[in-house]
Amino acid sequence: MTYYENIREMTKIVPVQLVNFEEPRDKARTPTQASSNFITNKEQGDWAENLIARAINETSNNFVAVKYGKSDNLVAGEDGFDAFYQDFQNELDTIGKRPDLLIFNKVDFDNSLGFDISQEPHEEITDYVKKAIAGIEVRSSAFLIDRYEEAMQARTEKFVQIALETKDKILTDFSDVLEHPARQSYIELLNSITASTLNVADFRVPSWSSSDRLIQVKNLFKQLKNAIKEIQKRDYLSITPKVEDLKVVYKWIETFNVPHFYFQVFFDKVYGISFEQILKIISDSDNDGVIFSVETDTKNQNKTTIKINSKFGVPIALKVDEPLHESVRKEMDRGRLLFYVTFKGGTAYLDIENLRAILNLEESIF
């Protein structure tokens, strides 16, 4: 069974509620205006892609990373962007979504094409692309993952303490209020709340307002509810494949039969996961809400995104030196000014053993 055939079989068990691979992708509308935040995010993504390419090319004796993903310096609102975007959409329907990087054996590397084939027409490099050993989609995140996890652990501990203390205060100081027959169900509710059930607890805050005592206990229930909401928020950083991208990644795999991977770059570490593993994770409903969540990403045009706990990926680099950054002024049509941030330099220190493992390379080769 080829790599593509294996992936094809796996798509058949992915719940259609998440991704229906039998349905055509939704057509995207052409963006009409870029923002400073959008360009900064694009610059960060370009930096992350370059970070991984440099790390591989400076470390490996046998493999070469080549820029492949469709990209351009044009942004929405500039002359030529509409044509570029429409060409990109047509290519998605023809060959699927190009991963940002391709990894080649050095013996297969085409020096005449060099380290950047992103502008090459797909029909002219089809045979070359099929020689790649891997395609890597590079995603970036503006976090230090270690600092984030420390903060989330401290936040959870704080609100667990608030919740349990608030619960005990209600039961101790307001038992007379709750013993009224119309309110006794709240005693049962409070007794069911423990440190181990806070992550699933839920209730409606009472609307009592007819006495000072009722108002006080109502406010305590509100405080308990707010603490529980904080505890139940997602507390991990994630590898973030967009649902709409899974279809066009699958189309690319169908076209080229090359293994596909996602690398998530943070400002201190890099994690990787195979497309195959993503399908395995989202095909198991027991993983929903535990290993992954499905969210509408307001920072990405409200696109539905699968957020997989990064720690279920493979650590590709356990240390990253942060890049330099500087502000840039860009003048758009009609004199509109955008100010954004660019990133330069930085180093990812690859974990060669883990990288070999995720790419399924022999232990003696890299």
pLDDT tens across 5-53, in order? 999 999 999 999 889 898 888 877 776 667 778 888 888 989 999 999 9
Read off the pLDDT band of 347 (50, 70, 90): very high
pLDDT the model gives residue 295: 86
Mean pLDDT of 77-91: 74
pLDDT at residue number 152: 92
pLDDT at residue number 130: 97
Instruction: Spell out the alpha helix ranges (H) of 60-197.
Output: 81-94, 126-129, 145-173, 175-178, 185-192
Which one is predicted more confidently, 178 or 335? 178
Rounded to two decimals, the pTM is 0.86
Kindly state the percentage of the chain with pLDDT values over 70.
95
Average pLDDT (231-242) is: 89
What's the confidence (pLDDT) of residue 297? 63
Q: What is the pLDDT of residue 91?
A: 84
Q: How far is CA 357 from the centre of its chain?
A: 22
Tokens of 58: 């400076």
Mean pLDDT, the chain, as a whole number? 90
CB neighbours (10 Å) of residue 267?
19
Closest CA to 277 of 306, 312, 318: 312
DSSP string, 215-237: HHHHHHHHHHHHHHHHHTS--S-
pLDDT on residue 14 = 94
The model's pLDDT over 254-300, given as tens digits with 9 standing for 90+, comes to 999 999 999 999 999 999 999 999 999 999 999 998 899 988 765 55
Categorize the per-residue pLDDT at 159 as very low, low, confident or very high, splitting at 50, 70 and 90.
Answer: very high
Per-residue pLDDT averaged across 140-145, rounded? Answer: 92
- Taking residues 175-199, report their average pLDDT: 90
Whole-angstrom distance, CA of residue 134 vs CA of residue 360: 10
Please report the pLDDT score of residue 32 as a whole number: 65
For position 42, what pLDDT does the model report?
Answer: 87
Per-residue CA distances from 18 to 45, 252, 363 (Å): 26, 20, 36
Instruction: Note the pLDDT tens digit of each residue in 116-129.
Output: 999 999 999 999 99
What does the pLDDT average to over 316-341? 86
Pull the structure tokens for residue 158: 């704080």
Question: In the prediction, which pLDDT does 253 show?
Answer: 97
